[in-house]
Amino acid sequence: METIKEMNIDVKHIATLTGHSGCVYGMDKGMSEHTVFTGGSDRFIALWNLETLQAEKFSASLPAPIYAICHIPEKNILLAGTTTGSIHILDLEKKEEIKILQHHIGPVFDIQYSIKTNCFYTAGGDGNFAVCDLDTMSLLKMKKLSQEKVRNIDFNDTTSEIAVALGDSNVLIFDLQTLDYKKDFIAHQLAEKIIGANTVRYSPDGKFLLTGGRDAHLNIWKVGNYELVKSIPAHNWAIYDIVFSPDGSLFATASRDKTIKIWDAKTYQILKRITKENFEAHTHSVNKLIWSSFHNYLVSAGDDRMVMVREVNKI
């Protein structure tokens, strides 16, 4: 039986934002701390204002469902990856599409960028991991990592590493600057059956890597040797996202089981379970999380077409 440690945080539902007509899969911070971009199966990108709790006068329509969104404020562009493998590059100042990349032949599940390398990185359902130049928006390198999906990407600025989660259960570690291979390990399995890794997230201090998989486990790995520190049966179904609070003291997990859970980042104790039974919550899979520094809002998006905003405070 899971032990709930209800003691030091308060979660308040602020708003449920409606407007999408399909599942919401992609989300990223907007042009300020109080805005977020969302996109999904309805092929639309929306911009939400967390201050007014309304949609901004911005929208973009793409020819295919959207799985991934990446806002690059330093370049004033927005990248959107679709189910057909296309990556659409939108100039936010001109409010127009400036380029389409088609180097993946499977869905684009994740897009991340690094100003340190001046590159952005894409994870494809075709098993490919791609690197593109942020100035020319052209493909620099393509790596075939798996016969399964490449699901998620995260950076460790402390150690200058990239972690990549694969659908074949492996997590691969590369050098950020050179992309040289450093380490790989089986991150998730169920009853000795290898099962997909869905998400990777480095702790803000760079000392630990958190992974979530189709086995519903949250695994914590020590950076360096990447030995398993702790394995927690965190959810009833697959974990789709992990996000840290702005001060790094908490993190949240999102799952296909319709729940969000908030955890102590030092002890890995669960502090709050957000479900339909005890909160206004998602009725379907929760796919994506953002933890904004604006009022410490935790924003979630899911298959129920909803974007939900909650304020999290320590008490």
Per-residue pLDDT for 193 more than 70?
Answer: no
DSSP letters along 41-89, please?
TTSEEEEEETTTTEEEEEEEE-SS-EEEEEEETTTTEEEEEETTS-EEE
> Sign of the CA dihedral 142, 144, 145, 148?
positive
- Per DSSP bridges, beta strands 108-114 and 297-302 are unpaired
| Residue 1: pLDDT band with limits 50, 70, 90 | very low
Q: Check residue 94 and give its pLDDT.
A: 92
3-class DSSP assignment, residue 25? strand
Per-residue pLDDT reduced to its tens digit, 166-175: 999 999 999 9
CA distance 264 to 267: 6
- Identify any residues that bridge with 142 across adjacent strands, giving them in sequence order: 130
Per-residue pLDDT reduced to its tens digit, 59-107: 899 999 999 999 999 999 999 999 999 999 999 999 999 999 999 999 9
> What's the CATH number of domain 9-314, 3.40.50.720, 3.80.10.10, 3.40.50.1000, 2.130.10.10?
2.130.10.10
Helices vs. strands in the chain: H and E counts, helices first: 0, 30
3-class DSSP assignment, residue 198? strand
First to last CA, the chain: 26
Share of the chain above pLDDT 70, in %: 97
